[in-house]
Chain A
């Protein structure tokens, strides 16, 4: 479904990704793990069209998307739920969700999608008329995910969905991701919460200093000594 081949990318003169190759199949849950600064976020931003790859190719459903601007990538069905939520703070929750369905394709089905989002996040329905900026971190993350769903994505990219959340909320977030996966959406997820992600992922990639150093099934990586050392020095 999504294929990155020898992709290099960075900001200005600084190259962050050095020729990484990643594949995500239809219906899979794939994760990228790696230390801070390894280039995980850059990978997702490059797929989403926010960062231009300097080398290599990115194809989605057979179409080359490496040169497309971000808003056209969204239209094709790839949605990034960014690190730190990035809600529109002075808009109501309802407006945030409507913005999620901005593309013509998603706008036509906005009402149905909204009902689906409410079924996943009953709490969000209660907060519809509040400003997004006034919600708690956990609620904001729920809105961010719901907003991402509003775009009717085929491929959802999650960037650190558990960042800055209390453990109990993290658990809820991952349960939600499970439910989303169950509806047939393909997921690529980047997380520092290694255990959670690897345990729900079909496959994982280990990214170190902008290079893929290892790839295996989620379960195998979870037992891997190298992964454990890289994460806690044990």
Chain B
């Protein structure tokens, strides 16, 4: 593999060699020792490693804690097992089971993905129980509680062997397959989208990600892989019963291994398996086979300890030990100059005479109420191409609500938002990602960094919108990072940025999607004077590049400097609309801000 291919899996040369050595050891040790017990342990490691890696695509990358993954494992085993008596090879059954599992997974997940956290986990348990009970009930197909024997036909064609080596090879192959798929996903656009959706769903949608779609793909792939392992395991055991195939214990175990090793990392699930499986086998050796329940006791205890003391799992623990924290590296003197420098020698865009053009976004009679509280009343707004529109108003006036309606995050009770697309057609997008795709980008008042990602990766999530390839997205993101003054911090974890840095990241990520209309929600709140001046320069540049800007802002200095036009919201209504210097002299506006008496005092 050349370096480019390695990079696609997020590995440098040293990492690649370590991973290769680890995998070689998993294969070489049993082949060298050649004892049945050692074969059994390593086949178990490969199987659980593969199951856990497959689970991690949904549980880790997508952050949906499925505790019902045995459904797919069982489907894989049963599909192949039931086809064998008809003379159909389990190799075919493996793929048939995978396809079936993917379909079932999507059907289950469409409704379940509306649930969060523990409720999603409960729903997956419930689905598993239903499948299990049905499998027990329909004895004619599944053999019921008695189970099914797989006809003993020996040979590669039937996936059943007298010797242990071929089984090890197949189990290892499955492990390798799941690792490759997981590694590829993690470092492709798809993986970035999954993790972005997991970390901050609204911000992911604002970056143009169809969050439901990426999650469904993840669950389909994960289910298919789980099912393939199930097929093999069924053939390996030559015995299939609902109790073992649709087992809650198994579902919990594979999730457990991922968490112990490092949830959401490519190698974590395998490392977790490598730690726990041999540990329990050894303990069983010491205490004798009579110690029933011992392995489960160890699993559970290790899990609780890991959650308490190493919440990022083994992978998180070791990477923290071996690498300096990124913020320490970036906090060195010079980091600041570098970022200031990047702003200065930014290649100046050719300054064109800015023209404010046709309407590009129109909102008509927007109304919205939460319970009895009206947060928008008959709001009309027309935004011209190329202008900077400032929105001001006291806290609670409904500014952010308006933004949420202009970007698809909040459907208005009545009224409509229309956007002119690139071809000049007026359209009404139906969801946040559709707004993003048509070119409406937004930031959030409460910054929403994808905390587990670096600054550059955050920006890449936006850049993927127009650049599907990882390399192109990275280049685009680097360019944006430089323009936004985030160059020096590009490898920091986003959660470690200062508040000013997070605000800039918020803008950088949306700018990477190359929006035509940019909605900025209080990007200057909490910034110091230097940062505010930088931010003003930044927005001027964005404006000069032809982007229409709508900005909610409390920093009056910035609103006055930037806005071509200002609208004032008060108590869910439009209070004023006009040139900035006129608006701030409007007595009604002063009253809304400072109170009635101030008008007289000022007079």
Contact = CB atoms under 8 A, between A and B. Distances in A.
Q: Are A and B in direct contact (Cβ within 8 Å)?
A: yes
Interface string A6-42: 0000001110100000000000000000011110000
Contacts of A199: 597
Contact of A222 (B394, B591, B601): B601
A192 B556 contact: no
A232 B584 CA distance: 7
5 contacts: A13-B495, A163-B395, A209-B529, A233-B584, A234-B584
A91 interface: no
Contact of B395 (A14, A36, A166): A36
Contacts of B571: 166
A230 B594 CA distance: 12
B92 interface: no
A170 B590 CA distance: 16
A150 to B, nearest CB: 26
B295 interface: no
Contacts of A194: 594-595, 598
B593 interface: yes
Interface stretch (B103-111, B471-479, B520-528): B520-528
A170 B560 CA distance: 28
A164 B286 CA distance: 68
Contacts of A164: 395-396
Interface of B: 327, 394-396, 495-496, 498-499, 522, 525-529, 554-557, 559-560, 571, 584-585, 590-591, 593-598, 601-602
A193 B395 contact: no
Contacts of A116: none
B559 A14 contact: no
Contacts of B499: 14, 16
Contacts of A118: none
Contacts of B525: 35-37
Contacts of B596: 167
B555 to A, nearest CB: 7
Interface in A170-200: 170, 192-196, 199
Nearest to B571: A166
B535 to A, nearest CB: 13
Contacts of B394: 192
B595 A196 contact: yes
Given A16-B526, A192-B395, A194-B595, 12 more contacts: A13-B327, A13-B495, A16-B499, A35-B554, A164-B395, A167-B595, A170-B595, A195-B595, A195-B598, A196-B595, A231-B594, A232-B590
Given A13-B495, A13-B496, A209 B527 contact: yes
Contacts of B595: 167, 170, 193-196
A192 B495 CA distance: 29
Nearest to A38: B526
A11 B413 CA distance: 36
A167 B570 CA distance: 12
B576 to A, nearest CB: 13
A38 B498 CA distance: 15
Contact of B495 (A12, A38, A163, A231): A12
A134 B300 CA distance: 46
A232 B554 contact: no
A53 B590 CA distance: 36
Contact of B526 (A209, A228, A233): A209
Contacts of B557: 233
A232 B522 contact: no
Nearest to B556: A233
A62 B596 CA distance: 40
B285 to A, nearest CB: 45
Nearest to B557: A233
Contacts of B522: 36-37
B246 to A, nearest CB: 40
Contacts of B395: 36, 160, 163-164, 192
Contacts of A16: 499, 526
Contacts of A37: 522, 525-527, 554
Nearest to A209: B528
A62 to B, nearest CB: 34
A233 B559 contact: yes
Contacts of A231: 556, 593-594
Contact of B396 (A35, A163, A209, A230): A163
A56 B554 CA distance: 30
Q: Which 5 A-B pairs have the closest CB atoms?
A: A37-B526, A233-B556, A37-B525, A164-B396, A195-B598
A84 to B, nearest CB: 9
Contacts of A14: 498-499
Given A164-B396, A167-B595, A195-B594, A232 B495 contact: no
A140 to B, nearest CB: 12
Nearest to B529: A209
Nearest to A35: B554
Contacts of B602: 228, 234
Nearest to A168: B596
A13 B494 CA distance: 11
A39 to B, nearest CB: 8
Contacts of B597: 195-196, 199
Contacts of B529: 209
For A16, A36, A231, which residue has the most chain B Cβ atoms within 10 angstroms?
Answer: A36
Contacts of B496: 13
A224 B596 CA distance: 18
Contacts of A13: 327, 495-496
A51 to B, nearest CB: 15
Interface in A192-234: 192-196, 199, 209, 222, 228, 230-234
A232 B601 contact: no
Residue from the set A13, A16, A167, A209 with the largest chain B CB neighbour count within 10 Å:
A209
Contacts of A163: 395-396
A198 to B, nearest CB: 10
B566 to A, nearest CB: 11
A13 B528 CA distance: 17
B556 to A, nearest CB: 3
Nearest to B581: A233
Contacts of B556: 230-233
A196 B571 CA distance: 19
A181 to B, nearest CB: 19
Given A36-B522, A209-B527, A193 B555 contact: no
B423 to A, nearest CB: 40
A211 to B, nearest CB: 9
Contacts of A230: 556
Nearest to B528: A209
A14 B129 CA distance: 45
Interface string A125-169: 000000000000000000000000000000000001001101100
Contacts of A36: 395, 522, 525-526, 554
Nearest to A196: B595
A63 to B, nearest CB: 32
Contact of A233 (B327, B396, B560): B560
A37 B556 CA distance: 14
A163 B595 CA distance: 12
Interface string A112-128: 00000000000000000
Contacts of B585: 234
Contacts of A166: 571
Contacts of B584: 232-234
Nearest to A37: B526
Interface string A36-62: 111000000000000000000000000
